[in-house]
Structure 1
Amino acid sequence: MKKLMVMMMMMVVMVVVSEASMVQQTCKETPNFSLCVSLLDSDPRGSSADTSGLALILVDKIKGLATKTLNEINSLYKKRPELKGALYECSRRYKAILNADVPEAIEAISKGVPKFGEDGVIDAGVEASACERGFNGKSPLTSLTKSMQNISNVTRAIVRMLL
């Protein structure tokens, strides 16, 4: 009986180690290992996900960050009326991330067509960069924009593993 319990505990430890190593191994292939691990470890689905699942978790992170950024843009309309034009363009771009890029990436990855998923992820980073440029160096969104670019780059690397 004792041997059986020891064997079962060893199997549990092996499963936990292999799950952790899946995230670690996958993140080693991305441009930002620590960001990748941080994002995937913060989601309970990460410990049991395959590569497609990890990519979908990161697409969810893109969606969450785009929503947060859009809320910040809406808040800035009242605080910084002099930035109305640039904020409007950013709002339009972040809505495109939420309404086009994220759904495209989710559908493509879920259906096993990662190339189109990669396109959606790349476009999220492009939209964030274009938003940032609209402020001509005086953006109140720089930290959110850089986060979107970094998450998009990590996500793209994982989606490329599916090609």
Structure 2
Amino acid sequence: MKTPMLFAILSFAQILLIAFLPFASADLVDDTCKKTPYSNFCVSALRSDRRSATAYTATLGLIMVDKVDANAEVTLAKIQDLLRGSPNPGTKQALTFCEGSYKFARSELVPSSKDSFTGSVYKFAVDNMKRAASQASECEAGFGGKSPLSDSNDYENKAASVASAIASLLL
């Protein structure tokens, strides 16, 4: 008779946990994002990833680093398309600079930041993501005005800035 009662209590506890865990995680997303420079962007970006529903703060940082990487990948493809279109020399020079910046972000800054978040050495993620944000801003500035990469550069700057801010919360 005790076994069915224990089973019922455990089942009820499991239902409560499943029902309330997403709300607790949503609070973590909200609380974390309020401490970043682009809080609305942060909330939107994190909630679009199902991993955030059960994430700890470090995982939220990893999600943002993944967003930086995914945006860089798409941006590099866009740069390649623009370079194939035989742009004028000034535009070609700016695109080539941006290409180098985004390749560096994907090959060095993102992997190092992921290692930093998973290895609990958050200082490197702070610095690397600040650098990625800065490079996106420099890419935009290289066009001397509105570039064909404005949306991508803006997204990269915001995502990297948020990832850096999340890492700094963990220091």
Given the two structures, how large is their TM-score scaled by the length of structure 1?
A: 0.91
1:63 equivalent in alignment to 2:79: no
1:115–1:5 distance in 2 versus 1, CA, 3 Å: closer
Question: Which consecutive residues of structure 1, in runs of 5 or more, have no partner in the other structure?
Answer: none
Structure-2 separation of matches of 1:2 and 1:112: 39
Please report how far the alpha carbon of residue 155 of structure 1 lies from its aligned counterpart in structure 2 after TM superposition. 1.3
Structure-2 separation of matches of 1:58 and 1:47: 14
1:9–1:67 distance in 2 versus 1, CA, 3 Å: same
1:42 equivalent in alignment to 2:48: yes
Specify the alignment match of 1:142 in structure 2: 150
Q: 2:59 aligns with which of 17, 37, 53?
A: 53
Question: Which consecutive residues of structure 2, in runs of 5 or more, have no partner in the other structure?
Answer: 1-6
Structure-1 separation of matches of 2:10 and 2:126: 46
Q: Secondary structure at the match of 1:137?
A: coil
1:83-142: CA deviation from partner (whole Å, max 9, x where unpaired):
211111110111011111101111111111100111110110111111112111141111
Based on CA coordinates, which of the two structures has the bigger radius of gyration?
2
Structure-2 separation of matches of 1:11 and 1:95: 43
Q: Secondary structure at the match of 1:81?
A: coil
Match runs of 1:23-34 below 5 Å:
23-34=29-40
Structure-2 separation of matches of 1:77 and 1:133: 18
Structure-2 separation of matches of 1:60 and 1:92: 19
Taking every aligned residue pair, what percent have the same amino acid on both sides? Answer: 36
Specify the alignment match of 1:98 in structure 2: 106
Structure-2 separation of matches of 1:7 and 1:98: 43
Structure-2 separation of matches of 1:32 and 1:65: 17
Root-mean-square deviation (Å): 1.8
Specify the alignment match of 1:86 in structure 2: 94
Specify the alignment match of 1:133 in structure 2: 141
Please report how far the alpha carbon of residue 16 of structure 1 lies from its aligned counterpart in structure 2 after TM superposition. 2.3
Structure-2 separation of matches of 1:4 and 1:133: 59
Structure 1 runs of 4+ with >3 Å offset: 1-11
Structure-2 separation of matches of 1:84 and 1:145: 17
How many residues are matched? 163
